[in-house]
Structure formats: structure tokens, C-alpha cells
Amino acid sequence: MENRFKKRKKPNYKRGIILVLALFLILYLWLNAETIITALFDKK
């Protein structure tokens, strides 16, 4: 049983990290959307 698990492909960590970072970025932008929008309108 142990050998079967060891032979498995390792998960793609880079892709996982990118997905997590994207999720955090979306959350950050979602939480700060109001301030970003007001800042953009104030500049104009």
C-alpha cells in the first residue's frame, strides 16, 4: 500500500500557490473596491 502512494505524482505546487495568491488578490480588491473607486474618481 505504501509504495502505491509514493509512486503518485506530486501535486503542482506552483499552480496551487498562484491560485491562492489570485484568491487573496481578489479578496483584497473586493474589500478595497470602494476606496479604489473613490480614489479613481477623485483623481479625475
Per residue in 1-44, pLDDT (tens digit) is 566 666 667 777 889 999 999 999 999 999 999 898 898 888 76
What pTM value is reported for the model?
0.51
Domain annotation covers residue 30: yes
Helices (H) and strands (E) in the chain, counts: 3, 0
What's the N-to-C CA distance of the chain in angstroms?
A: 65
Domain annotation covers residue 32: yes
Domain annotation covers residue 21: yes
pLDDT at 2: 61
pLDDT at 44: 62
Instruction: Domain of residue 29: give its range.
Output: 13-43
The percent helix, strand, coil of the chain (3-state, each to 5) is 80, 0, 20
Alpha-carbon distance of 26 to 40, in angstroms, equals 18
Number of independent structural domains in the chain? 1
The answer to whether 27 touches 20, Cβ cutoff 8 Å, is no
